[in-house]
Amino acid sequence: MNRSLESYKINARMNLYVIQTKKFKTDLIGVYIKQPLNKHEASLNALLTRILMRGTVKYPSAKALNIQLESSYGMIMVSDVVKYGEHHILQFKLQFPNGKHLLENHIFNDALELVEEVIFHPLMEKDHFIEDYFQQEKDNLVDEIESRINDKMSYALERCIECMYDNRPYSEYVYGNVDRVKAITVDELTKHYHHILETAQFDICVMGDLNPDEVKASIQRLPVSHVESSDYHMMCDYNHVSEIRYFSESLNIKQGKLVLGYKTQICQNDPLYEASVLAYHIFGGGPNSRLFHELREEKGLCYYVFAKSDRFKGCMFIGAGIEDEHQVIVETSIHDSLQRLKEEGITKKELQMAVDEMFSSIASLSDFPNSFINFYYTELLGRPLDHYDIDDMLYKYQSITLDDIKAVYQKLELDTVYMLKGE
């Protein structure tokens, strides 16, 4: 495990994390801009991550920007917005070959300059984003939101979340909704951009074979002003379920997609948080899980089954692709399986295997630069930085008991059953 993480508070709104490693042939810069998720701003944030890639003062078109990336040994730059609980994080990532492999030592500064161009120096006309770019990206975002229906597996999960958190901020789709996108004006988007530049928290992760002092000196140049960021409160969902709600929708599909939404009452800072990660995994994650075994291997009812949770919101979802007419039997099987876990818990062997798997997956994260910096960022999100230690986290996993796992299952309350079926 790579533990050589240096963190620096550059100013009131900007943190820098440098992870030194020699093993990769590329370095990576990740900029995370923290925003709250809500109905009003979700589409604005999404649109912003797209229009900023359209042109900068120095590279006035997407083509000019792409040519610059291609000429620099195929640098890869991506931008998007990601939903973590009720956080809505704008992300900009740039991966570039390390200078030592190409005899070009200035490549880090070139890379940082590109990131700076994209985020801080977009092409503007009369102090507004370019009208043509704005219209094109608006149209594209509308298409993108409409096309989410193409991926039925994630569509069913998103619909279950929308039904479960009806009209509350967490129900918002990561790119907002079509009506909201259509209503955005160039003036509104430009104002939102300046608002973010002046108030948001910037976290910058840099990973590679780099000198932290030099990186720090370069990062200090970024024009993020030294004023406190406007913070907001994250809501973990501690409400109990009064009655289970059922939703069903029909589409032209051949396989039904069933999603069950549970309230967990357990968020990232809960003492049972680490136990919950293992508990969900044992229940429905991967080929060793109870549900994989019972639904697929024993009964042949499905090919895929998954468990997915949101540690910031306190919810967990079980999903499976099934025949429409098997909905009742699958629902009953999942219910019975959870009931057994609530009553009997798991075996010592199951716990040990899950702990081993967890350790292995945390250890192997350091083989993937992008997953690694995302992992750090989400671990630090909403926690005081100076209290975090990866060894503490590993220790917590090791100390989990069978009773902890059982306690997690006992807290699970089924809230919403969503079924997407054929017409």
Partner 1 sequence: MEYYNQLLDESYHKKTLDNGFKIYILPKRGYTKKHAFFCTEYGSLYNQFEKDGKTYDMPKGIAHFLEHKIFDEDQTSIFETFAELGASVNAFTNYFATCYTLSTVDHFEESLVQLLSFVQRLNIDDDAVEKEKKVIIQELKMYDDQPQWLAYTEMLKGLYHDHPIQYDIGGSIESVEAITKEDLEICYNSFYVPNRMMLFVIGDVDIEETFALAEAHLTEEFMKRPMAPKIILPDEPDDISKKFCVNEMGLPCPILYMGIKDRTFYDDTKARLKKGIISKLLTDLVFGKGSDFYETHYDTGLINASFSSDFSYGRTFGYTGISAETKEPELLVKAIEDEIERVKKEGLDQDGFERIRKKMIGRHLSSFNSTQYIANTFVNYYMKGIELFDYLETLEKITFKEIEDRFLSHFDLKYSTVSLVK
Q: What is the 3-state composition of the chain as percent helix, strand, coil, each rounded to the nearest 5?
A: 45, 25, 30
397 binds partner 1 (CB under 8 A): no
Among 209-217, 330-338, 360-368, 404-412, which window interacts with partner 1 (CB under 8 A)?
Answer: 360-368
151 binds partner 1 (CB under 8 A): yes
Which residues on neighbouring strands pair with residue 418, listed in sequence order? 247, 259
- Beta carbons within 10 angstroms of residue 159's beta carbon: 21
From candidates 10, 235, 329, 353, binder to partner 1 by CB under 8 A: 353
149 binds partner 1 (CB under 8 A): yes
Among 249-257, 271-279, 377-385, 406-414, which window interacts with partner 1 (CB under 8 A)?
Answer: 249-257
* Residue 284 vs 369, nearer CB to partner 1: 369
- Structure tokens belonging to residue 377: 């960022």
Annotate 175-202 with three-state secondary structure.
CCCHHHHHHCCHHHHHHHHHHHHHHCEE
Among 38-46, 110-118, 149-157, 236-244, which window interacts with partner 1 (CB under 8 A)?
Answer: 149-157
321 binds partner 1 (CB under 8 A): yes
- Structure tokens belonging to residue 359: 């350790």
186 binds partner 1 (CB under 8 A): no
**Footprint (CB under 8 A) of partner 1, residues 219-248:** none
User: Does residue 2 contact residue 200 with C-beta atoms inside 8 Å?
Assistant: no
* Residue 238 vs 368, nearer CB to partner 1: 368
296 binds partner 1 (CB under 8 A): yes
Cα angle 244, 154, 159 (rounded to 5 degrees) comes to: 40
398 binds partner 1 (CB under 8 A): no
* Residue 87 vs 281, nearer CB to partner 1: 281
* Residue 220 vs 360, nearer CB to partner 1: 360
CA distances in angstroms from 369 to 68, 132, 258, listed in the order given: 23, 35, 34
157 binds partner 1 (CB under 8 A): no
From candidates 106, 126, 300, 387, binder to partner 1 by CB under 8 A: 300
19 binds partner 1 (CB under 8 A): no
Q: How many CA atoms lie within 13 A of 5 on its CB side?
A: 22
339 binds partner 1 (CB under 8 A): no
25 binds partner 1 (CB under 8 A): yes
Per-residue binding string, partner 1, 56-75, x by CB under 8 A, is -----xxx--xx-xxxxxxx
Residue type, position 159, single letter = R
User: Does residue 3 contact residue 390 with C-beta atoms inside 8 Å?
Assistant: yes
Burial 60-93 (b: 16+ CB within 10 A, else e): eeeeebeebbeebeebebebbbbbbbbbbbbbbb
Least separation in angstroms between residue 258's CB and partner 1 is 12
91 binds partner 1 (CB under 8 A): no
364 binds partner 1 (CB under 8 A): yes
Using the 8-state DSSP alphabet, how is residue 88 labeled? Answer: E
Identify the residue whose tokens are 């991506």: 78
* Residue 341 vs 412, nearer CB to partner 1: 341
* Residue 209 vs 413, nearer CB to partner 1: 209
Instruction: Report residue 230: phi and psi, to 5°.
Output: -80, 110
Identify the residue whose tokens are 């100076």: 386
Of the candidates 83, 44, 35, the one whose C-alpha atom is nearest the C-alpha of residue 313 is 83
From candidates 171, 229, 255, 327, binder to partner 1 by CB under 8 A: 255
Q: List interacting residues with partner 1 (CB under 8 A).
A: 1, 22-26, 61-63, 66-67, 69-76, 95-97, 101-102, 132, 136, 139-140, 143-144, 146-147, 149-153, 251-255, 286-288, 293, 296-297, 300-304, 321-323, 349, 352-353, 356-357, 359-360, 363-364, 366-369
